[in-house]
Structure 1
Amino acid sequence: MMRRCLCLGMLLLSLAAQGADLAGSKDHPAIKRFAGSEIVTYDYKRFDAFDLQTSTFQQYNLETKQREYASPPLHLEGARTTIWYESPGDTSATELLRNYQNELQARGFKILYDSTKDPAATRWNNYLTPFGAVEYKTSRSRYVMYAADSRGVRVSTARLDKPEGSIYVALTAVEWNKDDSTFKAKRGAYIAVEIIEPKAMTQNMVLVKADEMSKAMATHGKVALYGIYFDTNKAEIKPESRPALEEIAKLLKGEPGLRLHIVGHTDNVGGLESNMGLSRRRAEAVQAALVGSFGIAASRLTANGVGYLAPVASNGAEEGRAKNRRVELVPQ
């Protein structure tokens, strides 16, 4: 009986501990949490961008509102998990940072940057990173970080190289300003843990149906298609492109008088001359597929390529580059 009561008590304690975490949150398998802490903010993105600091902080540019470093941050794109842990009131930011660094190194991570060893890091005291108004789902006030002591910010980044791909971690620990309790949380120190797992974005645009193509061209004079796939720097159409080609053929067969320009578009990776040629070859491949596999008269189709001269998004990040890689249909 006593054993059953003990087991029940342990179960209740376990459930209580789990219940302290923000609903829907969880630890990341790459790293454990500091003992006694709880998750108060959590966010996960299947594909996102993150700039990882790897060198000395220099200044905060008030004109551009950007942080400047001795070397440019490492730009990463892939899965991003954001977890903010709140720790017991007698915990310091330094203690949090050192525990996480030791844990990461024990798991094979290499420390890339440590603000406690950076003489220039004292200049961090004019702003908080990544704290401020909380934009993520949180169990605390979205303004709680405004009461944090910027002089206590501790930052570190790390990388783990694995055969299947690298994992990056960014840590930012902060303490509370002891003289300001306006937005103070119930405990005293936080650490923000960002885990970034770089990977290529999966193209996931919805297939455009034949009738939708017709309406788009009538309204906007063109239609952009993202369901025609090519390998990098190649013009051979991949097999998974067939559904999009079928819809184009359906459109042309349903409107016998329609003649189309098939226009290839690329991102800006590589020179202009190379991308102009690549975009044209891809348009020609679409034309050849419609003629050879679907019986569309070649006289109804004209292939063109404009490289990266007509972007629909910024080429500064992979998300924008993916939008720029497309095939457009334009009525003649």
Structure 2
Amino acid sequence: MRSLLVFLLCLSGFAAHAADLAGAKDHPAIKRFAGSEIIAYDYKRFDEFDLQTSTFKNYNLQIKKREYTQPALHLEGAHTTLWYESPGDTSSIELIRNYQNELVAKGFQILYDSSKDGAITHLNNYLAPFGAVELKTSRSKYVLYAADQKGIRSSTAKLEKPEGSIYVSLTAVEWPKDDATYKAKRGAYIAVDIIEPKAMVQNMVVVKADEMSKAIAATGKVALYGILFDTNKADIKPESKPALDEIATLLKAQPNLKLHIVGHTDNVGGLESNMALSRRRAEAVMAALKGDYGIAGARLTANGVAYLAPVAVNTSEEGRAKNRRVELVPQ
């Protein structure tokens, strides 16, 4: 009898979640509201997210970002997005209060709560970003964007842990009645974003010595992304060895080749500090080639140009990652 009861409970739990979007799953940091189902889901190993901590002012169409009375907290790291549908008599305030209570019980600190923000005069265009998202969803991708503006509730929270902080952003809305166009059911919907800040893992393929030679012959330089440094430091990380091995192989195969080693950075920080940092990183590469591989110092010159020669925009983490590089240029 006990085994049968356990089986039935498991079966009922499966049935409750059977309507979830295929491939979607709850995040381990937070449970779902009872009776809700996942209607949209996305996960990125590394993404950027602006977390609200103050009063919403407007949605800036030019830069396609929300504006607040205080700058948003810019986060970069793993990003999970979940949209939940809670049909029936559920309201947005009930939904967001349940999530807030759950977060507080888990040790989170509430950073912002729109329902307690007396400075808000309007929430026009607060849902505008939802009109541009391209999430995998079983509803219309506009289901949050087209919801009742009067029912919007938003909140953010933070949990500090020794292994790294977790941030949560909540946006709850209401649908007053069923709507076939947006595949919406009467009830409340909540967008849950979980951000786990962390440094991006450099994942560029190591360029082989013969590929370096071909690139230099074709374009007069070769860009390398396998030489890694910690933020604002010039100490070469141990995982850079495969890239250094290939540079040494190139130089030993072409004994008459002399190289400028040029350090490049992104635009985070001032020009003067980045100019010095990029040069120190180039000097570190030169020192490694001389000390570890026996390359003659007369064949190498270290230079740094900071962010003055970008190969991508510096307005996104993807672009900044492409700009952080070491280039080899023949003398």
Q: TM-score, normalised by structure 2?
A: 0.90
Q: Give the distance between the partners of 2:271 and 2:124, measured in 1 at CA.
A: 44
Change (3 A) 1:130 1:100: farther
Q: Say if 1:57 and 1:70, in contact at 8 Å, map to a contact too.
A: yes
The residue correspondences of 1:195-210 to structure 2 (distance < 5 A) are: 195-210=194-209
Quick one: which amino acid aligns to residue 305 of structure 2? V
Q: Give the distance between the partners of 2:41 and 2:287, measured in 1 at CA.
A: 49
Q: Which residue of 2 aligns with 1:290?
A: 289
| 1:146 Cα offset (Å) | 5.0
Change (3 A) 1:87 1:301: same
Unpaired segments ≥5 residues, structure 2: none
Change (3 A) 1:265 1:3: closer
| 1:297 Cα offset (Å) | 3.0
Q: Give the distance between the partners of 2:330 and 2:47, measured in 1 at CA.
A: 36
Q: Give the distance between the partners of 1:8 and 1:286, measured in 2 at CA.
A: 62
What is the percentage of aligned positions where both structures have the same residue?
A: 77
The residue correspondences of 1:259-298 to structure 2 (distance < 5 A) are: 259-298=258-297
Please state whether the residue corresponding to 2:75 is helix, strand or coil: strand
Q: Give the distance between the partners of 1:265 and 1:146, measured in 2 at CA.
A: 41
Q: Give the distance between the partners of 1:280 and 1:219, measured in 2 at CA.
A: 25
Please state whether the residue corresponding to 1:190 is helix, strand or coil: strand
Return 11-20 or 76-85, whichever deviates more. Answer: 11-20
| 1:21 Cα offset (Å) | 1.3
Q: Which residue of 2 aligns with 1:73?
A: 72
Q: Say if 2:108 and 2:160, in contact at 8 Å, map to a contact too.
A: yes
Please state whether the residue corresponding to 1:13 is helix, strand or coil: helix
Q: Give the distance between the partners of 2:247 and 2:63, measured in 1 at CA.
A: 45
How many residue pairs get matched?
331
| 1:19 Cα offset (Å) | 1.9
Q: Give the distance between the partners of 1:238 and 1:179, measured in 2 at CA.
A: 57
Q: Which residue of 1 aligns with 2:93?
A: 94
Q: Give the distance between the partners of 2:12 and 2:210, measured in 1 at CA.
A: 59
Quick one: which amino acid aligns to residue 170 of structure 1? S
| 1:179 Cα offset (Å) | 8.4
The residue correspondences of 1:117-136 to structure 2 (distance < 5 A) are: 117-132=116-131, 134-136=133-135
Is 1:43 matched with 2:71? no
Quick one: which amino acid aligns to residue 102 of structure 2? E
Change (3 A) 1:228 1:188: same
Unpaired segments ≥5 residues, structure 1: none
Please state whether the residue corresponding to 1:302 is helix, strand or coil: strand
Q: Which residue of 2 aligns with 1:246?
A: 245
Change (3 A) 1:229 1:6: closer
RMSD (Å), alpha carbons:
2.4
Deviation by residue 1:109-164 (Cα, 9 ceiling, x = unmatched): 12111112224545213452543255111122334345421221111111112222
Change (3 A) 1:36 1:283: same
Q: TM-score, normalised by structure 1?
A: 0.90
Please state whether the residue corresponding to 1:131 is helix, strand or coil: helix
